[in-house]
Amino acid sequence: MKKSILFIFLIALSFAGNAQFAVNYYYDGNTIGISTNPEKGHWLEFRMNTVPYIFSDWYHSQRGIPQAYFCFKLISDGKASLYSGVGAGIPFPHGEINTVNVNIPFGLQLNPINQLPRLYLTAEYTPMFDVLNEMEITNTLSVGFRYVFSKEKF
């Protein structure tokens, strides 16, 4: 229910403010995100996982880890692009912070459906390096989608 309310609020906000942004979903960690326009050459993205990551054995890799990314396209032809970036994730536990992740996403975004020009299918590999715990690595591998919201100009 909370996700639905947030999603509707974001859609309304995008049209009211003439903004361009995207809503993202990644399978691993059941991660949801909001980004500036990923159709451009570079963008910012904020994500939060709602369940633990599949390949994580870390005690602190629980749900609710906020992450911030700066992503950029490496290669693009309009319908498909390879991208990378850098990000950070810090869980908000009750008490002291015992992990800080540096994340480096490598991904592919495709727009295979001509009738839905703002829908992108994604595949992404992201190693998450825990800089406070001897550089332990959690590998995430996800498929998902992005949908870009924008107000048409006439």
Q: What is the pLDDT of residue 6?
A: 52
Q: What is the pLDDT of residue 93?
A: 63
Q: What is the pLDDT of residue 154?
A: 38
pLDDT in tens, the chain (154 residues): 455 555 555 555 544 444 578 888 888 888 889 998 888 899 999 998 888 777 776 554 566 788 999 999 999 997 999 999 999 988 776 566 777 889 999 999 999 998 998 899 999 999 989 888 788 888 888 999 999 987 664 3
Q: What is the pLDDT of residue 105?
A: 95
Residue ranges per structural domain of the chain: 2-150
The CATH class of 2-150 is: mainly beta
pTM of the model: 0.78
Q: What is the pLDDT of residue 152?
A: 60
Q: What is the pLDDT of residue 153?
A: 46
Q: What is the pLDDT of residue 139?
A: 86
Q: What is the pLDDT of residue 62?
A: 60
Return the residue matching tokens 């048409």: 152
Q: How far apart are CA 128 and CA 29, in angstroms?
A: 13
Q: What is the pLDDT of residue 83?
A: 96
Task: Encode burial over 63-86: b for 16+ CB neighbours within 10 A, e otherwise.
Answer: eebebebebebeeeeeeebebebe
Q: How far apart are CA 29 and CA 52, in angstroms?
A: 5
